[in-house]
Structure 1
Amino acid sequence: MPRITAATVADHRANQRSALLQAARDLLLTDGAGAVTFTAVAERAGLARNSVYKYFADRRDLLTALVADATPRWTGPIRVAMEAADTPADRIAAFVTAQLELVRSGEHRVAQALADGPDAAALRAGADRAHADILVPLVEALEALHDPDPRRTAVLLQGFVNAATKAVESGDDFEAVSRRAVQLAVAAVTSAPGEADR
């Protein structure tokens, strides 16, 4: 097999890095954050262990890159769903629904595994940025609803989603939980002072 497996060296490096991140992601989801070692990642990606050092300085660097790689997977579907909604209230509903769909798909397990792992403190900055990114379109929708304190309201609405996530993970019916979470979130912002004149 040729050493360079892409049209250019830059493409080859990008492919190798992507393969390593996917291997780390797979290990994280199947065995937890503790299983993400350079040896395990290299083996899973089919590369030599020392090649991992060409892309990541250390394990923390790898996990930080994993957070950065995962963030668009969380924020992208939420933004797409909200952009497709017709009204600000519909965008609030889409925000809740899209996040719970990510829960159903298992996508949130990456964030969960990193948050619960031994490197949680080191990864907090990246996780905080991802969380802030998720809230951006919600804040915009709340501003369109003339919410008097959109950032604080966004954080509180995220609490509905977090509670719904726990309910689904505990075995509650997904459709029932999702429907009720949407109802509560939309009612909370459309009936609160400041939104009536939207």
Structure 2
Amino acid sequence: MPRISAATIGEHRAQTRDRILAAVSRLTRSQGIDEISMTDVAAEAGITRTALYNYFPDKAALLLAFTERVTGYFIESYERELAAGASPAERLRVFIRLQLDGLLAHPHPGAADLSAALGPDAYQRLADHVAPMQDILVGIIESGTASGHFRTGPPRQTARMILALIGAERLPLLSGEVTVAQAEETISGFVLRALAAT
């Protein structure tokens, strides 16, 4: 097991937690979240399974922490890549592209499969963790509607439809049937036409 040099126990624990979540990220690229076991994660992180359970009591807790981290990365990337004064349509395109990038970087099963794997309680907590991303999309739709760029129905319902379109590209992306750029152009074009973007 590789040694971790840290000035304090707290730093050591933080480094180990980072290694565990980095291991999950690497494993999702080859196995998918639903197939990953705690044993797989411990081996990939270079720690014992017992040590892993000291950080995460079960797979649901591990996936919740991983999802929270991925959500944080998404929000940071969105804020960093968005140009000052971007129009609602430009903001929507950036959102869709980053969502597609995330699907490719961190493959995961569809919502129904994930719900079955985690159980309804853990799945609801997982949904709560990704709510900030959904709130960004709702905000884009609301601002576009208020400025007259979009004509749409209820923003949250519209956001759910857009997220469903993004999710529909998961398997084509993972199989290499389409690239992120192609998927982004298809989804953005369709959505902006549906929103009657000016």
Which TM class, normalised by the smaller chain length? 0.7 to 0.9
1:179 partner letter: E
What TM-score does the superposition give when structure 1 sets the normalisation length? 0.74
Partner of 1:138: 137
Instruction: Tell me by how many angstroms 1:64 deviates.
Output: 2.6
Partner secondary structure for residue 6 of structure 1: coil
Structure 1 residue 184 and structure 2 residue 153: aligned?
Answer: no
Partner of 2:155: 150
1:77 partner letter: S
Task: Give the conservation status (yes or no) of the 8 Å contact 1:20–1:45.
Answer: yes
Partner secondary structure for residue 66 of structure 2: helix
Q: Percent identity?
A: 27
Give me the whole-angstrom Cα distance separating, in 2, the residues matched to 1:164 and 1:27.
Answer: 21
Instruction: Tell me by how many angstroms 1:142 deviates.
Output: 1.5
Partner of 1:36: 37
Give me the whole-angstrom Cα distance separating, in 2, the residues matched to 1:155 and 1:163.
Answer: 12
Distance 1:124 1:88, change over 3 A: same
Partner secondary structure for residue 5 of structure 2: coil
Give me the whole-angstrom Cα distance separating, in 2, the residues matched to 1:114 and 1:160.
Answer: 13
Give me the whole-angstrom Cα distance separating, in 2, the residues matched to 1:172 and 1:115.
Answer: 23
Instruction: Tell me by how many angstroms 1:13 deviates.
Output: 0.9
Partner of 1:54: 54
Give me the whole-angstrom Cα distance separating, in 2, the residues matched to 1:31 and 1:8.
Answer: 34
Name the stretch that deviates more: 169-178 or 87-96.
169-178
Partner of 2:124: 125
Q: Which runs of 5+ in 1 are unaligned?
A: none
Partner of 2:66: 66
Segments ≥4 residues shifted beyond 6 Å: 1-4
Partner of 2:149: none
Task: Give the conservation status (yes or no) of the 8 Å contact 1:23–1:44.
Answer: yes
Instruction: Tell me by how many angstroms 1:166 deviates.
Output: 4.5
Instruction: Tell me by how many angstroms 1:84 deviates.
Output: 4.9
Q: CA RMSD in A?
A: 3.2
Which of 1 and 2 has higher RCO (CA within 8 Å, sep 6+)?
2
What TM-score does the superposition give when structure 2 sets the normalisation length? 0.74
Partner of 2:18: 18
2:109 partner letter: Q
Instruction: Tell me by how many angstroms 1:83 deviates.
Output: 5.7
Instruction: Tell me by how many angstroms 1:12 deviates.
Output: 0.8
1:182 partner letter: S
1:16 partner letter: T
Task: Give the conservation status (yes or no) of the 8 Å contact 2:29–2:106.
Answer: no
Distance 1:165 1:51, change over 3 A: closer
Largest Rg, 1 or 2: 1
Structure 1 residue 107 and structure 2 residue 112: aligned?
Answer: no
Q: Which runs of 5+ in 2 are unaligned?
A: 147-151
Give me the whole-angstrom Cα distance separating, in 1, the residues matched to 2:191 and 2:2.
Answer: 55
